[in-house]
Amino acid sequence: MEVSDGYQTPGERQQQQWMDQAFSMAEEALEKGEVPVGCLMVHNNEILGRGRNQVNETKNATRHAELVAVDEVLEWCARNNRQRSPVLASTALYVTVEPCVMCAAALRLLNIPLVVYGCRNERFGGCGSVLNIPTENLEDTGTPFQCVGGYRAEEAVELLKTFYKAENPNAPKSKVRKKE
Amino acid sequence: MEPHCKRRRTEEMDPFPWEMIPVLSDEKSGDVELVEAYAAPIFNKKETSRLVKLMANIYPLNDLPHIKRVRACVDKDSDHPLEILICLRSSASVADVPDRKPSLIDLLPSGMGDCNSLGQPFQVTIPAKQPLTRPQFEAASQHWPTAFHENKQVTEALRGQLFNPEEKAKMQMFMGKAIEAARAGKEMGMEPVGAVIVDPATNQIIAVGHDCRNGPNALLHAVMVCIDLVAHGQGGGAFDHNKYPNCLFVATKDLSEDNNVIDIGKPLIPLDHQNAPGSGKDLPYICTGYDLYVSREPCVMCAMALVHSRIHRVFYATSSPDGALGTKYKIHTKKDLNHHYEVFKGLMEKECQRL
């Protein structure tokens, strides 16, 4: 399926593999005491950026997995002497949780054509849960993008639940660790 | 009660060439919504409390808790002193006949009690929702008496009385710094947007920054830059701002001792357990309690970044076409979100229009 000029959506099996890697990033976030969200940014079947939530580490509440991964893509462009806009316009995001309103707006501003996500984000979701940024009429805020949700959604929710349980200082230590 | 008033001279009531208005939620800023209802005169005043109970039984008006059941007759010379609200037109038990006024027999089921002291029903319009601001209350009361719990701060804000001249002078100074930063950014080829983060408890500037979106990262809008500068001041931060001499932060804690304090494996203060024991209340949690002064209305990304950062208040000068704090959205009042903040617009609007 074609979602924008020159961008071809990869096959489903390929997409699942990207999502599996995004889940590894989410698990890494959990181990580091961060909200377990992980993501990958893929351009021409090549991973240009990986991200996991880094809010606590950086004391910056905007350091969501998506924005961390975007920085890696931008660095990749600089390193490889590639123009940013055409690369971003054909880079898909694979993320374990629906992007929040902030990240959805950021993805629009960068003209990312496709987002594949796991579970919904009822508290902050910007792709339908709280607002629907990908399809809104915002002429000054980049371009609309396609959004596909629901991949390994239950596992993504379980990861989040584990995190919020772990944050409770009264919770038993054993429950903090995720099962291998 | 108002000690700063005596300082005002009539000659210069307001020395500020700008007007700042609060950006309220749609519920607070909207017009009073009206619904049609039936009321009837009460001829015998002594019957009032019995009639109120009777009506409450037949038509409880559960969705209109703000509506007072009885009002004094508007016309002083009328033959009855009071009027009682019977029911909404939409919930009247009589089939709606457009050209005919319903009688008491139509509206009240027989055998419900003695209604001899009631007169012929007539149609009224009543406020559909509880008024939230004084202007709304005043408009609503023109139609039918309503309950109103005044939020003094909102009322003062709407009257332009929320901030005294001393406070306004400070605000003008902070926005002036944002304008300076915007100009400096512009000279470096950036979008002319500047922002300042202030701790209003101490009037200390915590961070000053300008838009950097035309640099290597298109997402570094002025607000995102300032949020990261505050993080640097707390021993964190994600971006290198050294290239930009006009992007500055103040350390809010002693960073030299910090090496062992930052424990990456531990959340600073867990979002959902801020009252949990040992959560370290003395540490500043990102932008909690801070004010942002920004020359232009933030976009939806920046407005949501401020929700995540727990900002206290935002002051901006000019609106943006896709602005998310009043123009396209009111992210700061969005009910589903877990943090809300106050927003005022118009501070030094003219100066910022020229940027």
Asked if the structure places residue A176 within a domain, the reply is no
- Together in a domain, B203 and B64: no
Name the nearest CA neighbour of A42 among A3, A90, A77.
Answer: A90
Asked if the structure places residue A52 within a domain, the reply is yes
Each residue's pLDDT tens digit, B162-187: 788 899 999 999 999 999 999 999 99
- Together in a domain, B277 and B178: yes
* pLDDT at position B257: 47
Please indicate whether, in this complex, the C-beta atoms of A167 and B331 are within 8 angstroms of each other: no
Asked if the structure places residue B27 within a domain, the reply is no
Interchain CB contact of A51 with B (< 8 Å): no
Interchain CB contact of A78 with B (< 8 Å): yes
Taking each helix axis from N to C end, the angle separating A65-79 and A12-31, rounded to the nearest 10 degrees, works out to 110
Interchain CB contact of A84 with B (< 8 Å): yes
Interchain CB contact of B85 with A (< 8 Å): no
- Together in a domain, B98 and B177: no
Asked if the structure places residue A65 within a domain, the reply is yes
CA distance from start to end of chain A? 36
Q: What pTM was estimated for this model as a whole?
A: 0.78
The answer to whether the beta carbons of residues B73 and B110 sit under 8 Å apart is no
Give the pLDDT mean for B43-60. Answer: 89
pLDDT band at B11 (very low <50, low <70, confident <90, very high): very low
Taking each helix axis from N to C end, the angle separating A153-167 and A12-31, rounded to the nearest 10 degrees, works out to 10
Q: State which of B29-43, B103-117, B295-309 shows the largest mean pLDDT.
A: B295-309
Interchain CB contact of B235 with A (< 8 Å): yes
Total of domains in chain A: 1
Q: Which residue has the tokens 């947007």?
A: B193
* pLDDT at position B209: 96
- Together in a domain, B176 and B321: yes
Please indicate whether, in this complex, the C-beta atoms of B321 and A100 are within 8 angstroms of each other: no
Total of domains in chain B: 2
Enumerate residues 6+ apart whose C-beta is below 8 A from A173. Answer: none
Strand ranges for chain A from DSSP E: 2-4, 7-8, 38-43, 46-52, 91-97, 114-119, 146-148
* pLDDT at position A149: 93
The answer to whether the beta carbons of residues B229 and B237 sit under 8 Å apart is yes
Asked if the structure places residue B178 within a domain, the reply is yes
Interchain CB contact of B115 with A (< 8 Å): no
Chain A nearest-CA distance from B63, in A, is: 26
The answer to whether the beta carbons of residues B139 and B131 sit under 8 Å apart is yes
Parallel/antiparallel/unpaired status of strands B313-318 and B291-296: parallel
- Together in a domain, B170 and B121: no
Taking each helix axis from N to C end, the angle separating B222-233 and B165-187, rounded to the nearest 10 degrees, works out to 110
Asked if the structure places residue A179 within a domain, the reply is no
Q: Copy the structure tokens of residue B289.
A: 């309690």
Please indicate whether, in this complex, the C-beta atoms of A63 and B267 are within 8 angstroms of each other: no
Name every chain B residue with its beta carbon within 8 A of the beta carbon of A126. 304
Please indicate whether, in this complex, the C-beta atoms of B304 and A63 are within 8 angstroms of each other: no
pLDDT band at B66 (very low <50, low <70, confident <90, very high): very high
Each residue's pLDDT tens digit, B246-267: 999 888 765 554 433 332 222 3
Name every chain A residue with its beta carbon within 8 A of the beta carbon of B305. 61-62, 102
Enumerate residues 6+ apart whose C-beta is below 8 A from B283. Answer: B234, B253, B268, B269
CATH of the domain at B294: 3.40.140.10
Give the pLDDT mean for B184-203. Answer: 95
The answer to whether the beta carbons of residues B234 and B284 sit under 8 Å apart is yes
- Together in a domain, B345 and B244: yes
Report the 10 Å Cβ neighbour count for A71.
Answer: 17
- Together in a domain, B258 and B338: yes
Residue A56 lies in domain: 13-97+115-121+149-164
Each residue's pLDDT tens digit, A94-122: 999 999 999 999 999 999 999 999 999 99
Lowest mean pLDDT among B54-68, B85-99, B232-246: B85-99
Q: Copy the structure tokens of residue B122.
A: 């007539």
CA distance from start to end of chain B? 40
Asked if the structure places residue A56 within a domain, the reply is yes
Enumerate residues 6+ apart whose C-beta is below 8 A from B105. Answer: none
pLDDT band at B7 (very low <50, low <70, confident <90, very high): very low
- Together in a domain, B112 and B176: no
Please indicate whether, in this complex, the C-beta atoms of A58 and B308 are within 8 angstroms of each other: no
Asked if the structure places residue B160 within a domain, the reply is no
Name every chain B residue with its beta carbon within 8 A of the beta carbon of A109. 218-219, 299, 301
Asked if the structure places residue B104 within a domain, the reply is yes
Residue B165 to residues A146, B4, B168, Cα–Cα distance (Å)? 50, 8, 5
- Together in a domain, B192 and B44: no
Name the nearest CA neighbour of A51 among B306, A32, A59.
Answer: A32
In the chain, the amino acid numbered A134 is P
Q: Which residue has the tokens 């903090």?
A: A176
* pLDDT at position A15: 87
Question: Above 60 in pLDDT, residue B158?
Answer: yes
The answer to whether the beta carbons of residues A132 and A170 sit under 8 Å apart is no
Asked if the structure places residue A105 within a domain, the reply is no
Asked if the structure places residue A154 within a domain, the reply is yes
Interchain CB contact of B266 with A (< 8 Å): yes
Structure-model confidence comparison of residues A35 and B21, the more confident one: A35
Question: Above 90 in pLDDT, residue B34?
Answer: yes
* pLDDT at position A169: 54
* pLDDT at position A2: 43
List residues bridging with A168 in a β-sheet.
none
Please indicate whether, in this complex, the C-beta atoms of A59 and B231 are within 8 angstroms of each other: yes
Each residue's pLDDT tens digit, B220-230: 999 999 999 99
CATH of the domain at A52: 3.40.140.10
Percent of all residues in chain B with a pLDDT value above 90, rounded to a whole number: 52
- Together in a domain, B97 and B171: no
Asked if the structure places residue B16 within a domain, the reply is no
Nearest Cβ partner for B322 among A71, A78, A140: A140
The H-or-E segment that residue B350 falls in is: helix B349-353
A66 annotated active-site: yes
The half-sphere exposure of A160 on its side-chain side, counting CA atoms within 13 A, is 18
Catalytic residue (choose from A28, A66, A158, A167): A66
In 3-state terms, what secondary structure has residue A68? helix
In the chain, the amino acid numbered A69 is A
Residue B42 lies in domain: 34-128
Asked if the structure places residue B42 within a domain, the reply is yes
Q: Which residue has the tokens 């501003």?
A: A109
Asked if the structure places residue B26 within a domain, the reply is no
Mean pLDDT of chain B: 83
Asked if the structure places residue B139 within a domain, the reply is no
The answer to whether the beta carbons of residues B222 and B314 sit under 8 Å apart is no
Low-confidence residues in chain A, pLDDT < 70: 1-8, 167-180
- Together in a domain, B187 and B285: yes
* pLDDT at position B107: 84
Q: Locate the chain A residue with the closest alpha carbon to B288.
A: A61
Which of A149-159 are b and which e, b meaning 16 or more Cβ less than 10 Å from the residue's Cβ?
bebbbeebbeb
- Together in a domain, B122 and B226: no
